Amino acid sequence: MERPIVLSCFQVEQALKARRDGLARVQISPDLGLSMVAVTLDADGIRFPQGTFLPWRELEWIMASPQSCFVVEDGSVRKIQAFSEETNRFYSLMPTEWAPTLLVSGVPMHRIKDTDPHADTLEKIKTISPVVGRVLDTATGLGYTAIEAARTAEQVITIELDPTVLEIARLNPWSQELFENPKIVQLIGDSFEEVQKFEEASFTRIIHDPPMFSLAGDLYSEAFYRELFRVLAPGGRLFHYVGDLESRSGRNVVRGVARRLQAAGFRRVVRRPRAFGVVAYK
């Protein structure tokens, strides 16, 4: 299936500049920076190599919406966003100069200040490397941690609560491996419940990257950590994203997280400030 064209202000700014400069052709990315193609410009708009035409007013709308990514459909553009009746949450794909992030009711699900979602993902993965064997990823989101873990792991099981998030991920060029890599198994459900169904000691690594405490309290509970401890193999490691460990709220949350992880059985809990989280060892 042909991949849709997905654009943000970072891509269309080059086309608008080329128009101002009176150029007839310019290179822009049709997939949020992953690749480049040459588009032709005329008085009415731009044309992509495979024929898709976009009028200037659509490009101007994208330029005026720096918080949104847009998918091109039938010669016009649509914001990549959706409301979920299931969770009563509003999701949207927010661009950065690099990989986009997911906004859940306005809150970014990756770090974007002084870094970008891709670099953020690499920091998380690095804390539990080598990422080998069978990996559990408790919160799929845009699938960045699952995709990165699957580069070296045998298999990655990833769980997402809200199917609407996966609809957004499907349109995100940076999430495509989530749907194409046979090593990644996707589950829809509440991690709190799904984890209870796994066998004891069945994972070598766990990536726990939940939304902030106020959006998913259960995923920070001792009861949940006990389940993570149970399904982790001896010698296994868990990365738990917490937030900025140097901030006041981060300091408070991490103290409680570390205490509950130890109460759940983890023998050692190490702070990893660069990754905004902790690593717990079984």
Ligand X SMILES: C[S@@+](CC[C@H](N)C(=O)[O-])C[C@H]1O[C@@H](n2cnc3c(N)ncnc32)[C@H](O)[C@@H]1O
Does 139 interact with ligand X (rule: CB under 6 A)?
Answer: yes
Number of residues that bind ligand X (CB under 6 A): 21
Torsion, CA 131, CA 132, CA 136, CA 138, rounded to 10: 10
Does 145 interact with ligand X (rule: CB under 6 A)?
Answer: yes
Q: Which is nearer to ligand X, 10 or 174 (CB)?
A: 174
Does 98 interact with ligand X (rule: CB under 6 A)?
Answer: no
Of 5, 209, 243, 278, the one binding ligand X (CB under 6 A) is 209
Q: Cβ-closest residue to ligand X? A: 141
Give the distance between the most distant pair of CA atoms in the chain. Answer: 67
Taking the C-alpha atoms of residue 110 and residue 121, their distance in angstroms, rounded to an integer, is 8
Does 216 interact with ligand X (rule: CB under 6 A)?
Answer: yes
Does 224 interact with ligand X (rule: CB under 6 A)?
Answer: no
Does 15 interact with ligand X (rule: CB under 6 A)?
Answer: no
Q: Which is nearer to ligand X, 15 or 135 (CB)?
A: 135
CB-hemisphere CA count at 13 Å for 279? 17
Does 142 interact with ligand X (rule: CB under 6 A)?
Answer: yes
Pair 115, 122: CB distance under 8 Å: no
Does 46 interact with ligand X (rule: CB under 6 A)?
Answer: no
Does 165 interact with ligand X (rule: CB under 6 A)?
Answer: yes
User: How big is the CA angle at 268 (ends 266 and 272), to the nearest 5 degrees?
Assistant: 115
Q: Which residues bind ligand X (CB under 6 A)?
A: 109, 121, 139, 141-145, 159-162, 165, 190-192, 209-211, 216, 219
